[in-house]
Copies of this chain bind each other. A is one copy, B any other.
């Protein structure tokens, strides 16, 4: 068990109508000239844009808009935000949207306070040392970006994904109104649930032992996702279910799970999934549902010393009753696959438009910076094995 520092710098305003705290929050954290960053036009049709603008205008806060931030946000969108901030001497960012707008805003926050190319920070060549304060208004649950310190940015022709990570990038506060997610289509709602579950599993299934409190809390959040995601499939306006999924998103990455020796480190399924997204813009949460079961089966074979951990996952999260660890572990994976099917996730990469001939390229790219494994090594050969199992 390792030492840790527990510190959750982001404040959350959770519930109906919490947008009313936006302007006062901006002022509390010293904002006077705001970059208002968002993605597509959906926030204009569902009233969220107007609510944000009303807050800013009502408080006389100057703002400049950056619209059209793309999914899997490209560095070009980040450059544009930084340009607007520097040219207009903006001192605060309000990001409205899901993970893409929020992640891009984090890179903008760091880049606005950096004299060089923000790619230095995104690629970890230079450490983040300052950042503009950021607030978020969440419109889609999943990435956890509303409560965490990281963002994922897509760079270059190959759509390589880089994670920019620093506590200075934690939002000062986030507005979490479950009603703001009512209009998220079922497909994206469920992909978000898959993303939340993956964040929890990637922290739970690690070579750390004896850390019962965070692991037990993690199991609890996983069960809440399993219980609430299906409720939203045919009833997208179920407030309690939307609220539980939104709060699960925040709790999954707010830092509780990294405690007591659950060290921050590689998220192998995310690494493998990012390459799938890079290849064909596949929705992030879907890539995770495709790869997780294969990664689990691969790990059970390549690192059998962790079988009991997968058995515990099966028993404590899915209620599997089976005394033999190896059998329990496999039943747990089947239960997970059933859950994915129940929320409409595709189960094979081949069904999701990936050609078998692409797998080697994916494995090459996923491991180009080295081993991405946690419980067992994952270099190119192992990555190819996992992709093949998932295909």
Chain A residues within 8 Å of B, Cβ to Cβ: 1-8, 11-18, 210-221, 223-224, 227-228, 239-240, 243-244, 247-248, 250-251, 256, 259-260
Give every chain B residue within 8 A of A14 (Cβ-Cβ). Answer: 3-6, 259-260
Q: How distant is A14 from chain B, measured CB to nearest CB, in Å?
A: 5
Instruction: Give me the 6 closest cross-chain CB pairs, A-B, nearest first.
Output: A3-B15, A216-B220, A210-B240, A6-B12, A220-B220, A212-B224
Q: A1-B240, A6-B11 are in contact. Are A251 and B217 (CB under 8 A)?
A: yes
Query: Can you list 17 residue pairs at the A/B interface with Cβ under 8 Å?
Result: A2-B15, A3-B13, A4-B15, A6-B11, A6-B12, A210-B244, A212-B223, A212-B227, A213-B221, A213-B247, A216-B220, A217-B217, A217-B220, A243-B260, A244-B260, A247-B259, A251-B256
Q: How distant is A82 from chain B, measured CB to nearest CB, in Å?
A: 29
Closest to A17 in B: B3
Give every chain B residue within 8 A of A214 (Cβ-Cβ). Answer: 247
Closest to A2 in B: B15
- Which of A3, A6, A14, A228 has the most chain B CB atoms inside 10 A of its CB? A6
A224 & B213 in contact (Cβ 8 Å cutoff): yes
Give every chain B residue within 8 A of A12 (Cβ-Cβ). Answer: 5-7
Q: A6-B12, A213-B248 are in contact. Are A239 and B1 (CB under 8 A)?
A: yes
Q: Please tell me which one of the listed residues B8, B17, B244 contacts residue A213 in the complex, with CB atoms under 8 A apart.
A: B244
- Which of A3, A210, A220 has the most chain B CB atoms inside 10 A of its CB? A220
Give every chain B residue within 8 A of A211 (Cβ-Cβ). Answer: 244
Give every chain B residue within 8 A of A15 (Cβ-Cβ). Answer: 1-4
Closest to A12 in B: B6
- Assembled-state Cα–Cα distance A251/B213 (Å): 9
Give every chain B residue within 8 A of A4 (Cβ-Cβ). Answer: 14-15
Give every chain B residue within 8 A of A224 (Cβ-Cβ). Answer: 212-213, 216
Give every chain B residue within 8 A of A216 (Cβ-Cβ). Answer: 219-221, 223-224
Give every chain B residue within 8 A of A215 (Cβ-Cβ). Answer: 220
B18 & A13 in contact (Cβ 8 Å cutoff): no
- Assembled-state Cα–Cα distance A328/B239 (Å): 29
Give every chain B residue within 8 A of A17 (Cβ-Cβ). Answer: 3
Give every chain B residue within 8 A of A213 (Cβ-Cβ). Answer: 220-221, 224, 244, 247-248, 251
Q: How distant is A37 from chain B, measured CB to nearest CB, in Å?
A: 23
